[in-house]
Amino acid sequence: GEHGSVVIRGEERVVVAAYPVAKVIDTTGAGDQYAAGFLLGLARGLTLEEAGKLGSLAASEVIAHWGPRPMVKLVDLASEHGLKL
């Protein structure tokens, strides 16, 4: 959501800020996109914080337009925001 997320693994706890969007259009698919970005980050060996940021970025893209499918590739978004994939 707009307040970000908290990622927990064992004793590790990371607070991840939400990426701001100019206007929220449709939240359909936001949770799925967050999960997809987060899990991709974990699968690629990113830290919990990095994976959380990737998930947050993926969710921010999908809520800025109608429909649950992203319009911009996550690899391109990550590059624009200085996140590694």
User: Which parts of 1-85 are beta strand (E)?
Assistant: 5-9, 12-16
Q: Please name the amino acid found at residue 85.
A: L
At residue 3, the pLDDT reads 92
Return averaged pLDDT per consecutive 10 residues of the chain, 85 residues in all: 93 96 94 96 96 96 92 92 89
CA-CA distance, 13 to 29, in Å (whole number)?
A: 25
At residue 1, the pLDDT reads 83
What residue spans define the domains of the chain?
5-80
pTM: 0.91
| Enzyme catalytic residues | 32
CA-CA distance, 84 to 76, in Å (whole number)?
A: 10
At residue 27, the pLDDT reads 94
For residue 47, give the nearest of 83, 5, 4 by alpha carbon.
83
At residue 12, the pLDDT reads 96
Q: Residues 33, 71: contact at Cβ < 8 Å?
A: no
